[in-house]
Amino acid sequence: MSTTSPLPGSSIDYQLLLDCVHCGLCTAACPTYVETGDENDSPRGRIYLMRGVIDGRLPLDDHVRGHLDLCLDCRACETACPSGVQYGKLIEPFRIEMEQLAGSKAKSDDWFHRYILFGMFPYPEMMRKALIPARIAQVLKLDRLVERLGLLRLLPTPLRRLVQMLPPLKAAEPPLPAVLPAKGKQRARVALFTGCVSDALFRHTNWATARVLQENGCEVVVPQSQGCCGAIHFHAGSSQPARELADANVAAFDLDECDAVIVNVAGCGAMLKDYGHHWDDADRSRRSDFAAKVRDVHEFLDELGLIPPTGRLDLTATYHDACHLAHAQQITQQPRNLLGQIPGLTLKPLPETDLCCGAAGTYNLTQPEMSERLSRRKLDNILSTGAGVVVTANAGCLLQIAQQARRGGHRLDVLHPMDLLDLSYRGLSLP
């Protein structure tokens, strides 16, 4: 057993637990409680469980672990809480210490975490190479044949889920250059964070983001030695590799040479902004300085003042609030402000827009049953709007919603806000 304390939770400021007055206003915002109705699957219930373990009143058994592992860490409870409970600062360190205590029984100590989630996902070049067979299969329609013949059932469940999540892969695009010049009068110099999974599957969105920034007078610098933000490891309870990835990113970005570090993925943005408080060591101040410069692209452009695009997009769309944008970063109106400036675009409100779609990073691969329930619920809400386009600002949400729509036989275009803005600036229509 590899641990420095007999029970998890030793690193948590106990006062953070006491901030919860158990009023229950968080329960309606919690996706797992909404689905199960089990108090143990609510934020206040999980806080009670964590406090019980820390106090020595509850054993850390499989029952307790199960309820804590089922949490999506969407942090919708933080938005709903009138007492300002910082739930993320409770569940994240507790689960890390819970994993450390588990040793060889840790949920992340299996082949899927070791070789796929930790061994491949954080490395975009490795992911791109791994996707070559999938790209060929899609071109030859072999993927549909394999699906029809039921051959996917032969794969282990998480691997089968991963294959089913793959979207129609776009033509490979070149990597972003180190510098892209501003168009017109330069208003800012920014560094673009490109991510790992997002760069492997959504490089076209990174290009769109860079072009939109250029159109708004931003010189865009793309540090070539940057890497994964560390969220994949951190949320799976693997803290040390996450810290190493964080420190590599801090070293890759020259903060003195840019006005902001721009990120277009909600989950990555939340992780980058939290670099300053996740690890209390000698490098904490450097991580805090980095975190202070991080801006979500919608947040940044809304503050800068968007230069309105002129190309018409006669589309009816609905916007889904990605959890780590709406709740972790408290960014909700800014994407709508930007989308509202696209000529011809009609944006319809989405019922339960801020309820998690079930993606939650790698949650859809590790907790497939609950993820599927939430995904179906999200799709039903989307269909109720009558929109043909779904817009959301997180790679996981894009994959999750698109996959659920495909499975249901529904024709939906699922896009990032930067994709639509880029089309409007370039005078193009949706393919």
What is the model's pLDDT at position 74?
A: 93
> Per-domain residue ranges for the chain?
14-105, 111-165, 179-303, 308-426
What is the model's pLDDT at position 111?
A: 82
What is the model's pLDDT at position 1?
A: 35
CATH of domain 179-303: 3.40.50
Measured in whole angstroms, how far is the alpha carbon of residue 81 from the centre of its chain?
Answer: 22
Radius of gyration of the chain (CA): 21
Angstrom distance (rounded) from CA 291 to CA 287: 6
What is the model's pLDDT at position 4?
A: 43
What is the model's pLDDT at position 31?
A: 93
Query: Which homologous superfamily is 14-105 in?
Result: Alpha-helical ferredoxin (1.10.1060.10)
What is the model's pLDDT at position 6?
A: 58
The per-residue pLDDT for range 358-380, each reduced to its tens digit, is 988 778 888 889 999 999 999 99
What is the model's pLDDT at position 183?
A: 96
Angstrom distance (rounded) from CA 424 to CA 341: 10
Tokens of 90: 């409770």
Angstrom distance (rounded) from CA 93 to CA 280: 12
Assigned CATH class of 308-426: alpha beta
Angstrom distance (rounded) from CA 353 to CA 351: 5
Residues of the chain with pLDDT under 50: 1-5
Phi and psi, residue 188, nearest 5°: -165, 160
Q: Do the domains 308-426 and 179-303 match in fold?
A: yes
Measured in whole angstroms, how far is the alpha carbon of residue 64 from the centre of its chain?
Answer: 26
What is the model's pLDDT at position 207?
A: 97
Compute the CA torsion angle 127, 413, 376, 201 (nearest 10 deg): 10
The per-residue pLDDT for range 296-312, each reduced to its tens digit, is 999 999 999 999 999 99
The model carries a pTM of 0.90
Tokens of 421: 């803005």
What is the model's pLDDT at position 235?
A: 84
